[in-house]
Structure 1
Amino acid sequence: MYFVITGLVLGSFFNAAGRRIPQKTSLIAPRSACPVCRRPLTFLELIPVLSYILQRGKCRGCKCSISIVYPAVELAAALLFPFAWLQVGGEGELVMALLLISLLLVAFVSDVTYMVIPDAVLCFFLPVFVAGRLLIPLDPWHSSITGAACGCLLPLFTAAVTKGGIGGGDVKLFAVLGVVLGAKLIVLVFFLSAACGTVIGLTAVACGKLKRRDPFPFAPAILIGTLTGYFYGEPLIDLYVRMMMA
């Protein structure tokens, strides 16, 4: 229950960070307000998930719809935090897992809202991840370095081939993720993210929500690919190797 409540509270903060940092607005002031009518929100309107349900997804003042991103991120954090604890346990790696989830959710909010992943977010998490991997190193120890290199070069190569098919923020995000995951897992994560992004893009086109060749936020696909690779990467790689050798 502790991780669920912590996830809900931090999920609300991730929403604020993902929306305010790209606009270079303070995370402390001004108070949270409706983005349409600018009416400051009361305490009861700031309760994660529950406020959205009680208000039926609409502002109490202007009755405009509230983005589903708010409760989605809060609920995702509330589910992913305890899930990470169950998967990783109470060891030091749990801190890395929770930080990884936090980065991905903030990047998700920024990308789906503004189509940008702020350098300020990446610059905050990068030294934290580097310090974490110095204390809890991967095996081999240099895998964080090669992981960062692979995380940068793979999307850069893709961008060169597709002539801009991936944004600069995504490239830098993969580099930061490489520090946490290492070379082997970041390669898997890149291809999982690309596959997921393809499915999301084709689905959006089929539903009429997106036109062909129109850009769309890649962070949701990176989030899914990264968490899949982080928690299940080794079994997936072993399965792939066995299939290739069969």
Structure 2
Amino acid sequence: MTIFIAIYITLLGLTLGSFFNVVGLRIPAGESLLHPPSKCPKCGTRLTPLDLIPVLSYLLSGGKCRHCGTRVSPVYPLGEAVTGLLFLVMYLKFGLTLEGVTGLLLVSLAVIITVSDLRYMLIPDKVLLFFTPVFLVLVLFVPEARLWDHLLGALSGGGVLLLLALFGGMGMGDVKLFALLGWIIGWPNVIVAFFMACALGASVGGILQVLGRVERKQPVPFGPFLALGAILSLLFGPDIIGAYLSFIG
């Protein structure tokens, strides 16, 4: 039974990943999620169900529009594949529990804001406002969740980035996002998430500079790294903290 549930969760992630791409691209642009239907941005041809199969449509078409041959951005199938994979990981880690649901929703939020931040350098308030009340309530019902730890996670996460924002090193979207992420993963996991986000952001930014993709001091979206740091911390935070304490002890 477990393997069938795992397959279902993965397929669900792949399918929702396609929708999350649409949300991340349309919400910041002030567009409807329903109209107009998905179409090729080059030739304007409306996409059929055959064009909308997560990942598979991209592979079968060779990464091109079937109608005009224009190359399709790999961001679309990548978002779908990552969502499916992370949904599977959350299920394998937490099972069908409230913690598992929290993990799936965290992945959903992460994918949407990643698409948005990479495309527009923006983390939409509408997205955060949609997820915030869900997480506020959900965390309260997670077994063994300590309210103080989650509150401290939100205050410390948002507070640290607010200080950086005051000195011009961070956007307010990142501040609000990390406050929410801090509430989700709690204290002290938020510390792990912050340092992992900084390490990943610095590494990727350095690589992009070496490759000539970004210039020195050019802003790089930080939201995706905050989200990834939170996901990794939710999955492995206690293990990382325990290993660190054992090392210094």
TM > 0.5 fold call: yes
Residue of structure 1 aligned with 2:186, choices 162, 182, 187: 182
Counterpart in 2 of 1:165? 169
Residue of structure 1 aligned with 2:71, choices 65, 68, 71: 65
Ranges in structure 2 where 5+ consecutive residues have no aligned partner: 1-6
What is the percent sequence identity of the aligned residues?
Answer: 42
C-alpha distance after superposition, 1:163-213 (max 9, x if no partner): 322222111110111111112111210111011000010000001101010
Counterpart in 2 of 1:11? 17
The aligned amino acid for 1:105 is: V
State the Cα distance separating 1:23 from its structure 2 match: 1.0
Give the 3-state SS of the residue equivalent to 1:23 in structure 2: coil
C-alpha distance after superposition, 1:134-165 (max 9, x if no partner): 212654322222111111111122234xx322
CA distance in structure 2 between the partners assigned to 1:9 and 1:180 by the alignment = 24
Q: Could you tell which deviates more after superposition, 98-107 or 23-32?
A: 23-32
The aligned amino acid for 1:38 is: G
Residue of structure 1 aligned with 2:243, choices 221, 239, 242: 239
Give the 3-state SS of the residue equivalent to 1:146 in structure 2: helix
Tell me if structure 2 keeps the 8 A contact 1:138–1:144: no
Q: Check if 1:223 corresponds to 2:227.
A: yes
Stretches of 4+ aligned residues off by more than 6 angstroms: none
Counterpart in 1 of 2:4? none
Aligned counterparts, 1:48-127, within 5 A: 48-127=54-133
Give the 3-state SS of the residue equivalent to 1:123 in structure 2: helix
The aligned amino acid for 1:79 is: L
Distance 1:151 1:130, change over 3 A: same
CA distance in structure 2 between the partners assigned to 1:34 and 1:172 by the alignment = 34
State the Cα distance separating 1:124 from its structure 2 match: 0.4
State the Cα distance separating 1:62 from its structure 2 match: 2.9
Residue of structure 1 aligned with 2:37, choices 31, 39, 42: 31
The size of the alignment, in residue pairs, is 243
Q: Check if 1:199 corresponds to 2:198.
A: no
CA distance in structure 2 between the partners assigned to 1:137 and 1:126 by the alignment = 19
* Length-normalised TM-score, structure 1: 0.95
Tell me if structure 2 keeps the 8 A contact 1:18–1:108: yes
C-alpha distance after superposition, 1:16-64 (max 9, x if no partner): 1101111111111110111233221111111110111111111223322
Ranges in structure 1 where 5+ consecutive residues have no aligned partner: none
CA distance in structure 2 between the partners assigned to 1:56 and 1:142 by the alignment = 51
CA distance in structure 1 between the partners assigned to 2:169 and 2:41 by the alignment = 31
Tell me if structure 2 keeps the 8 A contact 1:85–1:94: yes
CA distance in structure 1 between the partners assigned to 2:88 and 2:106 by the alignment = 14
CA distance in structure 2 between the partners assigned to 1:138 and 1:168 by the alignment = 31
The aligned amino acid for 2:236 is: Y
